Amino acid sequence: MALGVDPQELGLSPSSGRRVWGVVMDTALSDGGWHSLVVFADGTTSLYTSAAFGIIGAGAHERVRIASDALLVAADGHLDLFTTAKDDAVPPPGMVTIRALTFEGPQVVVAMEEELGQGRHAASPVFHAAHEVITQT
């Protein structure tokens, strides 16, 4: 559902100076589980998991809001690494899909979690910024 949100419904417009108004990061675990982080520029931050728990509304907390803003800045600063998103599928096990929601449409990076986590992928700073959000939630 997060990928279908219209930024105008959230009161967001391109006049903010940022190209990226949201980030959705899906991680598929080797055991078949998954987690999905959703961050919007209006302050919305939520974490959903296959483990029957989630955190909704975490953006109301200052630490989370600061980390979420840093994630949006990181995604905006690395947008040249993203390509046009063609689907909204969860990635295969061991992989991560980072979607930058822009006013021109969704952009995507798909990479191995290990490559992103160990700093061996150009989009690693975005991945680490997303994990800082998760840490703060």
Q: How far is CA 45 from the centre of its chain?
A: 10
The per-residue pLDDT for range 12-50, each reduced to its tens digit, is: 988 767 899 999 999 998 888 899 999 999 999 999 998
Residue 15: the pLDDT is 75
In terms of Cβ atoms closer than 10 Å to its own Cβ (0-12, 13-18, 19+), residue 124 is middle
Q: Tokens 């903010």 — which residue? A: 16
The per-residue pLDDT for range 65-114, each reduced to its tens digit, is: 999 999 999 999 999 999 999 888 889 999 999 999 999 999 999 999 99
Alpha-carbon span 42 to 133, nearest angstrom: 15
